[in-house]
A and B are shown apart, each in its own frame.
Chain A
Amino acid sequence: MRNKTFTRREFIHNLSFAALSGLSLSLLSSCSKEQREDFLQKHFLEMTPDEKRALVTRFEEKYLRKYNKNFRVSVQEAIPNTLWGYGLDLSRCIGCRKCVYACVEENNSSRINPQSQWIRVIRLKKGSLINLEDSEHYYDPANVPEKDFMYMPVQCQHCENPPCVKVCPVHATWKEPDGLVVVDYNWCIGCRYCIAACPYRGRLFNWRDPNVPSESWNLSVHYLGNRPRMKNVVDKCTFCIQRVRSGRYPACVEACPTGSRKFGNLLDPNSEIRYIIERKRTFRLKEDLHTEPKFYYFFEA
């Protein structure tokens, strides 16, 4: 009798398994080739160079079909012996937000419905160092800088101990060898745990499909950076991975009219960022959290 029970249970199990696989097979075969390839795409870090080349071709074709533009997708790897660092001169930031909009342009972020800005400039009262409780995000005076206030732009700090990487359940976000924390938008499942884990509001969610005007697309994109995103995945500042791996400044650095933003290779003793760390008085946000961010704020005057 007992054998009968177990074999009967086994039978039920086999039946349900057969039914499930039959169902999924029929589902998969009813999808288009593109949907199938999207669904079965491997994790980026597990791809061979050939697979990455195939990936680039597939995405360039997809973007041509979808947006009618010739995107150039790069999968350029990190330059050896680089660790990108950022400097921000708080005595010179005037809160003009030109960096915010330059970033939006460069990185194909959604402009409206919804609006997605990787950089957030906050206004702080003079007198206490960094009192985030009292910060004002939506200041809109006629002119900046305003008396009695200082301005602090915040974006992804590309931490050396990133809490977001620690908590992502699927390894959709990781730290590249050159220190950049990147997201594979085709691997992210949209659970938003990383957004809960980030102490700096570095990460944003695409609550719906991004809205980029057709003539504003930046066509040189990196797979892990500013390529067109889709709804329900996370994105963030990548220190303009498509630029810095060719030696160009990130867009926010170039846009700053007062020269408050500095960038360089922390491993290069002659870089601007090393000069700043050695000669100025730098600090980083929320250092007690031991995230080891690469974003060094400093004051001069």
Chain B
Amino acid sequence: MQALWGMVQETWRFYRKTLNLVFTGSKEYFLWCSFLLCIMLVGFFFYTKQVQEGLIVTNMRDQVAWGLYIANFTYLVGVAAAAVLLVVPAYIYQFGPIKEIVVLGELFAASSIVMALLFVFVDLGRLDRFWHMLPFIGSMNFPSSLLAWDVIFLNGYLFLNLVIPIYLLVMMYYGKEPNKKFIVPLILISIPWAVGIHTVTAFLYNGLSARPFWNASILAPRFLASAFCSGPAIIIIIFQIIREYTHIKIEDRALFKIAQLMSYAMFLNLFLLTSEMFKEYYSNTMHIASFKYLYEGLHGHNFLVPWIWVAMVLNFMAFFIFLLPTTRNHLSTLNLGCFFIIAGIWIEKGPGFIIPGFVPDPLGEIYEYIPNLTELMVSFGIWATGFLIFTLMMKVAIPITSGKFSHSEYEKEVKAVKTS
């Protein structure tokens, strides 16, 4: 009984301290959080309109049934999968500098998955019927439907990327060594699982014979290659921000190592893109229509053309920045390259992937889809949600990893108060 009451007190104090951490901080921290909260509120307001009136408030129609929401979803699943690029060097190769930050990277992957799932939620017409998707309770169409696979894989990945870092943080909090027998298998599983989430997402599009733009075997490799470019780029930027605002030490060497791994992925991405272009333009079948829509414009519709060419330029420039050691190992050029690749891959893998899949539609009609205000606001709201979740997690996790926030220290404080 006494032990139980002690545990309750302990838990309460932990939460109280966490809330303290979250609600105290610098001016910039509050500004940042308020900014994100504002965007979230605006996004939520637009979403309620969508729920009330129906998805007609977006610009999606029967001809282009998926738009900005699913574009962002695809991109974010890729970003989440990229956490594996930190896990492999840290745990497999025991690369010291990355080992310190891998927990934060996994929490980043978790926030990314939360964002991806939120994008699916806002895209669903009947979110209230979500329980139909659950296995055993609902009627999940497993293994036939790739969306069912994706639900399992994404939620499993979220679970892994919450359990692993939280377990490690709790162990750090208690100043204890983590139980390797428990945590190492989980970490090892998370590596193929990360590849798995993005492969399943690629297969989701790949399996549709109705959409020749997607029905290409090259899709899954391209997805993985582009994921391993964009995700780590965001991680590099974020860790520099964290390094700036907290006392946590992140060596430059860690960032340069990530950048080096990224350059291989970039090359693969560009090579696969070239292969696709060759196949389409040389064989010159009628299926080239979607490609033409994206890169040249089709029958006068060319909204995406400037976007994709900007993305191409950004991707190529980023590739060269990451390829050459001089530009890669300098933070200023490295950051420029990161921004290039983040934007470039977002365009290529988001709207530049989803929209051409639907143009022209199966009967040859062309509907030019351009996202409208509602979709933009809801999308910004979800990105803000993800960033806020990540910020709050960092606010608690970083003190734990650096040792400032731990059980023993708390105990010291209590002892100090008692003796005084």
A188, B127: Cα distance in complex, Å: 10
- Asked if B65 contacts A189 (CB within 8 A), the reply is no
Contacts of B348 in A (CB 8 A): none
Give, as a whole number of angstroms, the nearest-CB distance from B32 to chain A. 28
Give, as a whole number of angstroms, the nearest-CB distance from A100 to chain B. 14
Q: Please report which residues of chain A, range 244-297, place their CB below 8 angstroms from some CB of chain B when the two chains form the complex.
A: 289-291
- Asked if A5 contacts B358 (CB within 8 A), the reply is no
Contacts of B144 in A (CB 8 A): 166-167
Most buried by A among B10, B132, B210, B361: B210
- Asked if A170 contacts B11 (CB within 8 A), the reply is no
Contacts of A46 in B (CB 8 A): 139
- Asked if A8 contacts B10 (CB within 8 A), the reply is yes
A167-B208, A171-B141, A196-B211 are contacts. A134–B126 as well, Cβ < 8 Å? Answer: no
A135 contacts the other chain (CB 8 A): yes
B375 contacts the other chain (CB 8 A): no
A197, B358: Cα distance in complex, Å: 10
A7 contacts the other chain (CB 8 A): yes
Segment of A74-82, A142-150, A205-213, A217-225 in the binding face: A205-213
- Asked if A5 contacts B170 (CB within 8 A), the reply is yes
- Asked if B358 contacts A133 (CB within 8 A), the reply is no
- Asked if B209 contacts A195 (CB within 8 A), the reply is no
In the complex, what residue of chain B is closest to A12 when comparing beta carbons? B11
Give, as a whole number of angstroms, the nearest-CB distance from A45 to chain B. 8
- Asked if A199 contacts B362 (CB within 8 A), the reply is yes
B289 contacts the other chain (CB 8 A): yes
Total residues of chain A contacting the partner, CB 8 A: 56
Give, as a whole number of angstroms, the nearest-CB distance from B147 to chain A. 4
Interface flags for B133-177 (1: CB within 8 Å of A; 0: not) read 100001111001111100100000000000000000010001010
Give, as a whole number of angstroms, the nearest-CB distance from B379 to chain A. 17
A122, B365: Cα distance in complex, Å: 10
Give, as a whole number of angstroms, the nearest-CB distance from A185 to chain B. 10
In the complex, what residue of chain A is closest to B127 when comparing beta carbons? A189
A169-B141, A189-B126 are contacts. A207–B55 as well, Cβ < 8 Å? Answer: yes
A292, B327: Cα distance in complex, Å: 56
Among candidates B8, B53, B124, B363, residue contacting A200 with C-beta atoms closer than 8 Å:
B363
B123 contacts the other chain (CB 8 A): yes
Contacts of A135 in B (CB 8 A): 363-365
A133-B360, A206-B54 are contacts. A199–B209 as well, Cβ < 8 Å? Answer: yes
- Asked if A208 contacts B365 (CB within 8 A), the reply is no
A240 contacts the other chain (CB 8 A): no
- Asked if B56 contacts A191 (CB within 8 A), the reply is no
Q: How large is the interface on B (under 10, 10 to 19, 20 to 34, 35 or more residues)?
A: 35 or more
- Asked if A199 contacts B174 (CB within 8 A), the reply is no
A1-B174, A169-B147, A188-B126 are contacts. A196–B363 as well, Cβ < 8 Å? Answer: no
Among candidates A122, A189, A199, A200, residue contacting B133 with C-beta atoms closer than 8 Å:
A189
A4-B7, A196-B66, A199-B210 are contacts. A137–B129 as well, Cβ < 8 Å? Answer: no
Give, as a whole number of angstroms, the nearest-CB distance from B280 to chain A. 15
B125 contacts the other chain (CB 8 A): yes
- Asked if B126 contacts A190 (CB within 8 A), the reply is yes
Contacts of A126 in B (CB 8 A): none
A166-B145, A191-B147 are contacts. A201–B362 as well, Cβ < 8 Å? Answer: yes
Contacts of B130 in A (CB 8 A): 189
Contacts of A195 in B (CB 8 A): 62, 65
In the complex, what residue of chain B is closest to A291 when comparing beta carbons? B209
A209, B125: Cα distance in complex, Å: 12
- Asked if A167 contacts B363 (CB within 8 A), the reply is no
- Asked if B139 contacts A171 (CB within 8 A), the reply is yes
In the complex, what residue of chain A is closest to B146 when comparing beta carbons? A167
- Asked if B210 contacts A132 (CB within 8 A), the reply is no
- Asked if B174 contacts A163 (CB within 8 A), the reply is no
A99, B209: Cα distance in complex, Å: 28
Give, as a whole number of angstroms, the nearest-CB distance from A193 to chain B. 6
Given contacts A132-B363, A169-B140, A232-B125, 11 further A-B contacts (CB under 8 A): A9-B170, A11-B8, A133-B364, A137-B364, A167-B145, A169-B145, A170-B129, A187-B129, A192-B65, A193-B145, A231-B125
Query: Which 5 pairs across A and B sit closest by C-beta, in order of nearness?
Result: A190-B125, A232-B125, A208-B54, A199-B210, A231-B54
Chain B residues with a Cβ under 8 A of chain A: 7-8, 10-11, 53-56, 60-62, 65-66, 120, 123-130, 132-133, 138-141, 144-148, 151, 170, 174, 176, 179, 204, 207-211, 286, 289, 357-358, 360-365
